[in-house]
Structures are given as C-alpha cells and as structure tokens.
Amino acid sequence: MGAPGLIPRAPENDSMPIYEYKCTSCGRVTTVLVQGYKDPEGLCCEACSSTGMKRVMSGANYHRSASDRLSSYDPASRLDDSFYRDTRNIGLHAEHMLKKAGVKPNDEFKAKLERIRTDPSSVIKDED
Ligand SMILES: [Zn+2]
C-alpha cells in the first residue's frame, strides 16, 4: 500500500486527441488539437471564419498526430475545399487509417460510413 496522494501522474502531453470540426456554413473541416474533453474556445472556420463549428467524430482520429494524418493523405490533390465538400469523402480518412493499421472495417463501421455519406448531417453529433 503506498501513501495516499503519491500516485505518479501520467504525462499529459505525449498524445493529444485530435478532433475534426466541420463548418456549418461552408462545410470546411478544420482539424484541432483538443486539451481535455471540452471544445476549444474561440473555434472558428479557417476558411470563412464562421463560428458555427460542429465536432465530427470519424472514429480513427484519437491520438493521431497531425503528421501521421497528413502523411496518409495526398496533400497535393486532396486537401482542398472540394474534397471536404464531397460527402463521399467523409470517412475516407478513417478508412485509410484502418487499412494502414491492418484492421478490416467491420460491418457496423461500413454501415455507419454509408449512412454518413448519404446523410452527412447524421455525423455532426457525438456518438459515445
Ligand atoms: Zn466555413
């Protein structure tokens, strides 16, 4: 039994959750490092500065570094507004990540993806 209050705390800054926020005005997705579980303050769209941002849960974003995410995309051709406006691209990132990790998406995941792509508004809420 150790003395109370002397439990070493895990370092907090080795991995930070990354969330994507989708602009409700222009549909642009902005990637944000989030400290804790609250939405960051002063969040606004990097394209149109709208503050109507909704968190998008795409499943595979947790604890991914920004560089990991970037290297999985082809930044030259994909990371523009039209890519994000195309609802067929929703979830593509998550799919890539699963593939990279050698994980086969299960039926539930695929069904979810399909639903999101046909009805993008269904993704704009947390699903915990
Ligand atoms: Zn916007």
33 SS3 class: strand
Give residue for tokens 């593509």: 92
* 82 CA → ligand 1 middle, Å: 13
Q: Contact 55/20 with Cβ under 8 angstroms? A: yes
Computed over every residue of the chain, the mean pLDDT equals 70
- Inform me whether the pLDDT recorded for 13 exceeds 60: no
- Inform me whether the pLDDT recorded for 51 exceeds 80: yes
* 101 CA → ligand 1 middle, Å: 32
- Residues measured by CB to lie within 5 Å of ligand 1, the ion: 23, 25-26, 28, 45, 47-48, 50
- Inform me whether the pLDDT recorded for 22 exceeds 80: yes
Q: Give the angle 51-26-81 at the CA atoms, nearest 5°.
A: 120
* 42 CA → ligand 1 middle, Å: 14
* 49 CA → ligand 1 middle, Å: 6
- Inform me whether the pLDDT recorded for 23 exceeds 90: yes
* 51 CA → ligand 1 middle, Å: 8
pLDDT digits (tens, 9 = 90+) for 59-91: 544 455 555 555 565 545 555 566 666 666 667
Instruction: List strands edge to edge, sheet with 53-56.
Output: 29-33, 18-23, 53-56
Q: Determine the pLDDT at residue 42.
A: 84
- Inform me whether the pLDDT recorded for 17 exceeds 50: yes
Q: Determine the pLDDT at residue 2.
A: 47
